[in-house]
Amino acid sequence: MSNIKNRLTGLALPVAAACALLSGCANTKTASLYQWDGYQPQVYEYFKGQKSPLEQIGALEKAREQMLAKNASAPPGFHAHLGMLYASVGKDQEAKQELLAEKQSFPESSTYMDFLLSKFQ
């Protein structure tokens, strides 16, 4: 019995050290590369279809202002989604501007943004 007790006691220190190390790592918070506030709820609202495009545009414009105030970057798709909303209400110039901003911010979207921009010609 004392042999088992010695083994358990011998394991207690390494286990406690591992727990302390892992819990210390769990408390670190990595800053997000993009500012997602306001964008994801609006995409959800868009798919639910319960808010008008103008309401969604207002919410995204407010989110963009908050991003600018925080000097944060818009997430992928933000400008494209806003551009599509602008296009849906006939604001073609604003739509083009947002699609170009998406293309500039995320060059990997260039092919798709060029396709969308071609619809305005």
Per-residue pLDDT of the chain (121 residues; tens, 9 = 90+): 555 555 545 555 555 555 555 555 555 666 677 777 777 777 887 788 888 999 999 999 999 999 999 899 999 999 999 999 999 999 999 999 999 999 999 999 999 999 999 998 8
78 in a structural domain: yes
pLDDT score of 44: 80
The whole domain housing 96 covers: 39-118
16 in a structural domain: no
96 in a structural domain: yes
pTM exceeding the 0.85 threshold for the entire prediction: no
91 in a structural domain: yes
105 in a structural domain: yes
pLDDT score of 40: 79
pLDDT score of 21: 56
pLDDT score of 85: 96
80 in a structural domain: yes
Q: Which DSSP symbol is given to 37? A: T
3-state secondary structure 11-47: HHHHHHHHHHHHHHHHCCCCCCCCCCCCHHHHHHHHH
How many domains does one find in the chain? 1
CB 57 within 8 A of CB 86: yes
